[in-house]
Amino acid sequence: MSIEGFKECSICFEQIRNHSHNYKPKFSIGLICRKCIRNFTPQENEIIIHAFNIARGIFQINEKNNRIIKDVLFDVFYELKTKINRPFNLQLVFQKILLRSQVYGLKLNEFFYLNSKLSKFQSIKSNCAICNQELQKNVYNRDFGLFSQSICQNCMKKFSKDEIETISSLFNKYGGFFNKINSQKISIKEIVQSMFFNLRNEKDFLKMIEINKRALHFALLYGYHPKIFIEEIKKF
């Protein structure tokens, strides 16, 4: 969806001369220039433009702040462009926007500030990011700066810290939770066989990593411990 006459890239803010040949986001308002199309994947472009559109409405607005908000978003765009660790998600982009806004002294508007406080209060009762069980006490908070995920005591005992980081990031990216599906429906051997079948003709290294991640995520959904997944891989 795009607005007629919207000739500025919604990500890098450069002027677009011929906007008929540029990317129009599917789920957000705006337009993306050819440079940003090359710099980011379609999914990343959708995330950035969605975050940037929302960010324009969460700060107290005046003539001076309008210019500052644009500077904040440009700084975030440049950091995302040069960042090696990708892909990123919507939470990460918002985190960068909020952190950068503090440097410029921007303040949240009253509506967003009150809703943020309410969301924080409601989040006291939450579910484990791995097994989805309601949390009681003694939880491990995975630090994301302004965002965090909580892990129940049972999962802390079952998995190492590195495993917790990997598992929670996979569920954050692809959805679901540990042991969501009955493991009797598929064996760990079948999951690994399917992974190797998909890897067989794949030459793109990044896609190979993605296939491996999805296979592990699939195994976790069926309640297979990462160690079992790795042990099965060693058999091939």
Domains of the chain, by residue range, sit at: 19-115, 125-234
Rounded to 5°, the CA angle 29-34-39 comes to 95
pLDDT of 23 reads 53
pLDDT at residue 232 in the model: 92
Give the pLDDT confidence score for residue 159 in this predicted structure.
Answer: 93
140/109: higher pLDDT? 109
If you average pLDDT over each of 44-58, 103-117, 124-138, which comes out highest?
A: 44-58
Of 2-6, 28-32, 160-164, 225-229, the least confident: 2-6
**What percentage of the chain carries pLDDT values higher than 90?**
19
**pLDDT, tens only, 65-85:** 667 888 889 888 988 888 765
Predicted local distance difference test score (pLDDT) of residue 122: 45
d(CA 209, CA 74): 30
Q: Which helix (H) or strand (E) holds 192?
A: helix 188-200
Q: Which two tokens mark 182?
A: 């009955």
Does 223 score more than 90 pLDDT? Answer: yes
pLDDT, average across residues 205-221: 91
Asked whether the predicted pLDDT for residue 138 surpasses 80, the reply is no
| Mean pLDDT in residue range 149-161 | 87
Which of 4, 77, 7 is closest to 44 using CA atoms? 77
Backbone angles phi, psi at 57, to 5 degrees: -110, 0
pLDDT of residue 1: 34
Q: Go through 148-168 and write b for each residue having 16 or more CB atoms within 10 A of its CB, e for each that does not.
A: ebbbbeebbebbeeebbebbb
Check pLDDT > 90 for residue 224.
yes
Alpha carbon dihedral 150, 155, 157, 161, in 10-degree steps, equals -60
Kindly report whether the global pTM for this prediction surpasses the value 0.85.
no
- Strand partners of residue 193: none
- What local confidence, expressed as pLDDT, does residue 173 receive? 82
pLDDT tens readout for residues 46-64 = 888 888 888 877 777 666 6
* pLDDT tens, residue by residue, 111-125: 555 554 444 444 445
Query: What pLDDT was estimated at residue 123?
Result: 46
Q: Which tens digit of pLDDT belongs to each residue from 5-30?
A: 457 888 888 888 765 545 555 556 77
